[in-house]
Structure formats: C-alpha cells, structure tokens
Amino acid sequence: MTIKLHQKLLLTGAAGGLGKVLRQRLKENCDLLRLSDVQELGSAADREEVMLADLGDAAAVDGIVRGVDAIVHLGGYSVEGPFEPILQANIIGAFNLYEAARRHGVKRVVFASSNHVTGFYRQGETIDASHPPRPDGIYGLSKAFGEDLSRLYFDRYGIETACLRIGSSYPEPKDRRMLATWLSYGDLHRLVTACLTTPVLGHTIIFGMSDNAVTWWDNRLARHVGYRPQDSSDAFRDAMYASTPEPDLQDPAVQHQGGIFVRTGPF
C-alpha cells in the first residue's frame, strides 16, 4: 500500500517518458496531482490538474508551484545536446523552480538527477554519494548544478531534496550496460514514494536502480530514505548475453559508466 501524505503534488515533465509512467502512479500518493510540461498533456483526468509552463519562464514556474505540498521534478532537457536549451531548461529552470518553492513554502522536492553526473567513473569502480561528480557531458553537468543548487536551498532555506541519479528506466534492459543501471517502472515509483514519505529526508543523493546483481553504485548513504527495490535485471541477463556481441573493452562507452554519453555531444 502506498502511503499518502500530500494533498497536492506537482509533477513537472509530465509529458516525458517517465512523466507518463508517474502520471498514473503518483495519484496513489496524493489527493490531487498537478501536471506540468512545455508539451501538450491532453485533458485532465480525475484528480488531475494540467498547467503548461516553460521552466525558463520564472512567472510561469511560480504559477505551477503555488499551492502544492511537494514537487516531483522530472522536467527539463533529458539528453545530451547543445548548451543553450540545456541552460534554459535544466539550469535556469531548476533555479526558477527552487525560487518558487522558497516563495511558496514548499519544503520537499524529488529532483530527477542522472547517473550522467558521474558518467566518467569506470565500470570497474563502485561509487557512492560521497564521490565527487564526474559529468560525462553538458547534460550531466547541468544535473550536477541542480544537485548543488538543491543543497544550497536545503542549507539556507530548509527545502529538503532527494536527488535521484536515475540509471536506465525502461520496461526491460536494452543492452548489457543496463544490466547494471536498470530501474524498473515499479521501482521508480517505489523510489519516489520513499523520498516523499521518509520522515526526515534532508539533502540526499540516491542512485536510481533496481536490485541488480551487477551494479556500480552503493546507496549506503541513503538508507534513511527506506527505498527497497523489488525488481532486478537478473531475469534478463541470460537473454541479453545471448542476443548481444561481446563488448569492445577499448570503447570508451564500455569503459565508463556513462556509456555512449562519454562520446556524444556537440563539443
């Protein structure tokens, strides 16, 4: 059973891939789910509100934050790309969101960070939240900024944040790398729920992964969150090995945790 502590939640990025997944599931967590994106979201269903907003527009962001109890922030530019759109959506947009949260007294945010904050660590390493960021591109850099921004707003204003360094969230793993990074949709919802309901969240970095036997990430510093994954990529491992070639160990995408992001981008 999902614990419901909030009357009204805001979900940004609700038109995106994971936003669509959480749009259905997060209604278990609240009485009313406010959905926002720059893209069309269709008509509001039962117990939904729809409010379109560009994250780069401070006034629009203020409007979507007003009146909510907590925020699940998935909105932004979600892949590697040119600096300008990432700047507007992920850096200025994150600042606008936290400023609006400060003004309206919102005290808890679940922030969709990314494993690409640490993408230049090697796949033969195991890291935890105490390891310094090693972004694998402009996108990862923007998420590292969001993590630092959220820490500032916790230290100065007491806004608690869980920074979810999401791995690879799909119905099933797509390649051998995802045997380590996979996060099922069910575990994604369990992770967000744990961050919304743990009694004391503070400022926490937690890696978003299922209970995979192979992993590069250690969540020992986030045990207070109470996240217990129930799914695992292990069920897909034999089929993945049978259907994919042996990896080229000289390929930077195979050497590093960020995969193809370490060699993707306009710079």
Q: Is the dihedral of CA 205, 183, 145, 109 positive or negative?
A: negative
Whether 241 sits among the annotated catalytic residues: the reply is: no
Active-site annotation holder among 139, 153, 170, 185: 139
Residues with a catalytic annotation lie at 139
